[in-house]
């Protein structure tokens, strides 16, 4: 169920789709990108940040992302860690870049929601022991 959530998220993460991407998150959100942290306190902030991010990617011919590796771990009844490596593809289906991210998810009445996201190198995903 977590992998399906993340696959749906990757499918939504496309240029021009900031509102749908924001639906996968719950404010406040802790976002760590390029060594800087930011707390997004409202849904409107989420949309604005993702719109800017997706516009920047579109300028680099980004089209879609696919999950290459995926790890998850339940840390409490409704709290999960997910760490994934993904490949971003250009419009011509060539590789744009490999990225990694680790997320904290909550299971809510309306499904899973990301409450924290840390971007990192694809080789640095966390491998959880079972």
Using one digit for the tens of pLDDT, what is the confidence trace for 15-71? Answer: 889 999 999 999 999 999 888 999 999 999 999 999 999 999 999 999 999 999 999
Domain holding 113: CATH number? Answer: 3.10.450.50
- Give one DSSP letter per residue of the chain, joined into a string: -HHHHHHHHHHH-STT-HHHHHTTEEEEEEEEETTEEEEE-SHHHHHHHHHHHHHHHHTTTEEEEEEEEEEEEEEETTEEEEEEEEEEEETTS-EEEEEEEEEEEEEETTEEEEEEEEEE-GGG------
Structure tokens at 29: 């959100």
Note whether residue 101 is domain-resident. Answer: yes
Note whether residue 40 is domain-resident. Answer: yes
Q: How confident is the model at residue 128 (pLDDT cuts 50, 70, 90)?
A: confident
Note whether residue 130 is domain-resident. Answer: no
Note whether residue 44 is domain-resident. Answer: yes
Q: What is the pLDDT of residue 105?
A: 98
Could you list the residue range(s) of the whole structural domain that residue 10 is in? 2-124
pLDDT of residue 125 exceeding 90, the answer is: yes
Note whether residue 83 is domain-resident. Answer: yes
Percent of the chain residues past pLDDT 70, beyond the cut: 99
Total domains in the chain come to 1
Q: What is the pLDDT of residue 34?
A: 84
pLDDT of residue 109 exceeding 80, the answer is: yes
Note whether residue 129 is domain-resident. Answer: no
Mean pLDDT of 96-112: 96
pLDDT of residue 130 exceeding 70, the answer is: no
């Amino acid at each position: 169920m977590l992998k399906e959530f993340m696959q749906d998220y990757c499918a939504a993460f496309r240029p021009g789709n900031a509102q749908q991407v924001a639906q996968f998150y719950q404010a406040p959100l802790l976002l760590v990108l390029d060594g800087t942290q930011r707390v997004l306190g409202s849904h409107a902030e989420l949309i604005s940040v993702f719109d800017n991010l997706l516009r920047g990617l579109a300028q680099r011919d980004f089209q879609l992302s696919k999950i290459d590796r995926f790890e998850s771990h339940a840390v409490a009844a409704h709290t999960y860690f997910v760490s994934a490596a993904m490949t971003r593809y250009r419009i011509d289906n060539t590789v744009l870049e490999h990225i990694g991210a680790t997320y904290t998810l909550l299971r809510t009445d309306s499904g899973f929601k990301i409450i924290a996201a840390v971007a990192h190198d694809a080789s640095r995903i966390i491998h959880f022991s079972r």
